[in-house]
Structure 1
């Protein structure tokens, strides 16, 4: 990836609906070059989706949290498969250090959230969890 690819990605992260003509004007590249670069990044997996973000007022989920998870022995793949199958798990990250996984959760209310936590803690292979409810987002990188 060169500087033009990086510049295109940065612009699309900010607004995935930018037309090719606007991207071309912003970068100084031709529309054909911008189109070819975006198509190449889609084909090679650099860009996997074009999406939208909604404001918090349009979300149906009222409770968001992160849960740090410690896994027993060699159970990480099995635990990850179980977590990925839960619609409340919006993102799942493997990490180093004390925790094996950090999951981002969303649920409609505290009662449903409590049930989600109970189900996660019952997954075979999970040893220890620590959960933090997210109160307010001050910056989002996505």
Structure 2
């Protein structure tokens, strides 16, 4: 990927619905160039999809949090597999340092969130967790 590809991806991150014409104008290249680069990035698996980002207030799941998870021994794959099946788990990230996994969680209410945490803490292979509720979002 060259500088134009990086700029193209940056523009798409800001607005995935931008037209090829507007992308070409912003990049100061021909429309065909943008179309060819998009096709190449899609075929190469760099771009795997386009999506809609909602304001957190617009979503039904009002309670959002990050839960950091310490895994016992080499159990990370099993823990990840168990967490993938939970509908409250929005995303999973492996990390380095003190915590092995960061889980993005969502729930309708504090009571529902309490149930989510109870389920997660019962997953075999989890040694410890720490949760931080997300209070506000400043950049999407």
Tell me if TM exceeds 0.5.
yes
Kindly state the Cα deviation for residue 117 of structure 1 after the two structures are TM-superposed: 0.4
1:23 match: 23
Query: Structure 1 residue runs of 4+, over 2 Å off?
Result: none
The within-5 A match list for 1:1-142 is 1-140=1-140
In structure 1, C-alpha distance between the alignment counterparts of 2:114 and 2:95, rounded to whole Å: 24
Structure 1 counterpart SS, 2:42: helix
1:56 Cα deviation from its structure 2 partner: 2.5
Q: Distance in 2 between matches of 1:43 and 1:92?
A: 25
CA distance in 1, matches of 2:10, 2:115: 38
- Unaligned runs of 5+ residues in structure 1 are none
Name the count of aligned residue pairs: 140
Assess if the C-alpha contact under 8 Å between 2:56 and 2:137 holds in 1.
no
For the residue of structure 2 that corresponds to 1:135, the secondary structure is coil
| TM-score between the two structures when normalised by the length of structure 2 | 0.97
List alignment gaps of at least 5 residues for structure 2.
none
CA RMSD in angstroms comes to 0.9
Normalising by the residue count of structure 1, what TM-score does the alignment of the two structures yield?
0.95
The 3-state SS of whatever aligns with 1:29 is coil
CA distance in structure 1 between the aligned counterparts of 2:40 and 2:85, rounded to whole angstroms? 31
Of 54-63 and 75-84, deviating more is 54-63
